[in-house]
Amino acid sequence: MAVEPDHTRVGAPSGADAIDVRLIDISKSYGDVVAINRVDLAIERGEFFTLLGPSGSGKTTTLRVIAGFEEPDRGRVQLGGRDVTGVPPYDREVNTVFQDYALFPHMTVAQNIEYGLRIRKLGKKERAHRRDEALEMVRLAGYGQRKPGELSGGQRQRVALARAIVNRPRVLLLDEPLGALDLKLRVQMQSELKRIQDAVGITFLYVTHDQDEALTMSDRIAVFNEGRIEQIGTPEEVYERPATPFVSGFVGTSNVLERDGRRFTIRPEKVRLLWADEPRDGLVIERGVIRTVAYAGPVTRYEVDLEAGGRLQAVRQNYETSSAEVLEQRGHKVEVGWLPEQAVPVGEGPEMEEESL
């Protein structure tokens, strides 16, 4: 059952503007701390768009500026072509889902979901229709009379989603909504969020510091660092072709090397450890010594100190290899290789701290 976004509110633009969110030269400071530094961004209608970055990078402040909880020091915010800079949160076509759910504990699930509809003075029949539709969408049909305290963390998160979806916003803002869940449930909810977004067709703007979440769910990702956007692209573009050393280090694990004045990055899974009988045709080859080995079940992770300088991390599938065999490889000399096109040039910029196995 599809839920159609409601864009009939006063002030909503007419016509088929394909951009739901547009930020134009947005900056925001708190005293001497620059939280956002001249950010430009355009998010298309129906996208699952993620703001990704470490703590303090500006992603949550950007979300709050879009929601209207914070006013920018400069720049403009547009929603569906309408300039909402200075417009209060309640008059913007957005809803926000927080990590702590923000449910009313004394209300039932049904009452929580209907709360926003009551504020908008919708009739009882329409409220009930939308409530039941939203409960079905998040797979909680039949839970309407329960209280939030009777639900699991994942179920409470679904109620928070239903409460936001029921208002049919133009954009749904999600501020690290899965951060309080355990790993297994978080992975399950990632699939659920993507399913719900595909079903409702609402633009989702998601904030996270978790690279796996961003890569798994997003249509496009904006990588934030120190108040600026370092790269915008699809998950494949951001992972396979990082634009800066920061992106290559923050999104997954990567190797950054310099050779002959050229700086480039290679993902560990692209690096091949070349034993005596393995083909070398077409590969860039370097020699080194295995520094550390970490057995991780399906794969083994290696660190190799290179004769030409620098260190590479490599990942090798354990098709027929036991843990005892791989751990004996520490200190061995080895050749490593990669295809030339797998070495992606990167510009100057701050590097991530070196990760250890």
The CATH number of whichever domain residue 314 belongs to comes to 2.40.50.100
**Cα(165)–Cα(201) distance, integer angstroms:** 10
pLDDT at 20: 96
Residue 134 · residue 166 · CB < 8 Å: yes
Question: Could you tell me if 208 and 91 lie in one domain?
Answer: yes
Q: How much is the mean pLDDT over the chain? A: 87
pLDDT at 80: 93
Question: Could you tell me if 203 and 110 lie in one domain?
Answer: yes
Residue 6 lies in a domain: no
Q: How confident is the model at residue 11 (pLDDT cuts 50, 70, 90)?
A: very low
pLDDT at 348: 57
Question: Could you tell me if 78 and 194 lie in one domain?
Answer: yes
Question: Could you tell me if 198 and 262 lie in one domain?
Answer: no
Q: How confident is the model at residue 61 (pLDDT cuts 50, 70, 90)?
A: very high
pLDDT at 228: 97
Question: Could you tell me if 294 and 210 lie in one domain?
Answer: no
Residue where a domain stops, chosen among 215, 240, 265 = 240
pLDDT greater at residue 180 or residue 243: 243
pLDDT at 152: 86
Domain containing 235 equals 19-240
Question: Could you tell me if 111 and 204 lie in one domain?
Answer: yes
| pLDDT 10s digits, 113-162 | 998 888 888 898 998 999 999 898 888 998 999 999 999 888 888 898 88
Among 158-167, 228-237, 304-313, the range scoring the smallest mean pLDDT is 158-167
Question: Could you tell me if 162 and 272 lie in one domain?
Answer: no
Question: Could you tell me if 128 and 81 lie in one domain?
Answer: yes
Residue 112 · residue 52 · CB < 8 Å: no
pLDDT at 323: 57
Report, as an integer, the average pLDDT of 280-306.
92
Residue 356 lies in a domain: no
Residue 138 · residue 216 · CB < 8 Å: no
Residue 355 lies in a domain: no
Question: Could you tell me if 194 and 318 lie in one domain?
Answer: no
pLDDT at 321: 63
Percent of the chain predicted with pLDDT > 90: 56
Percent of the chain predicted with pLDDT > 70: 90
Q: How confident is the model at residue 225 (pLDDT cuts 50, 70, 90)?
A: very high
Residue where a domain stops, chosen among 240, 267, 299 = 240
pLDDT at 288: 95
Residue 351 has pLDDT above 80, yes or no: no
Residue 357 lies in a domain: no
Q: How confident is the model at residue 327 (pLDDT cuts 50, 70, 90)?
A: low
Question: Could you tell me if 221 and 281 lie in one domain?
Answer: no
Residue 223 lies in a domain: yes
Residue 250 lies in a domain: no
pLDDT at 110: 92
- Tokens 């839920």 label which residue? 3
Report, as an integer, the average pLDDT of 41-55.
96
Domain containing residue 191: CATH number:
3.40.50.300
pLDDT at 331: 85
pLDDT at 240: 92
Q: How confident is the model at residue 270 (pLDDT cuts 50, 70, 90)?
A: very high
How many separate domains does the chain show? 2
Q: How confident is the model at residue 1 (pLDDT cuts 50, 70, 90)?
A: very low
Residue 88 has pLDDT above 90, yes or no: yes
Residue 110 lies in a domain: yes
Residue 172 lies in a domain: yes
pLDDT at 191: 87
pTM greater than 0.75: yes
First to last CA, the chain: 47
Residue where a domain stops, chosen among 240, 274, 291 = 240
pLDDT greater at residue 317 or residue 340: 340
Question: Could you tell me if 58 and 198 lie in one domain?
Answer: yes
Question: Could you tell me if 271 and 140 lie in one domain?
Answer: no
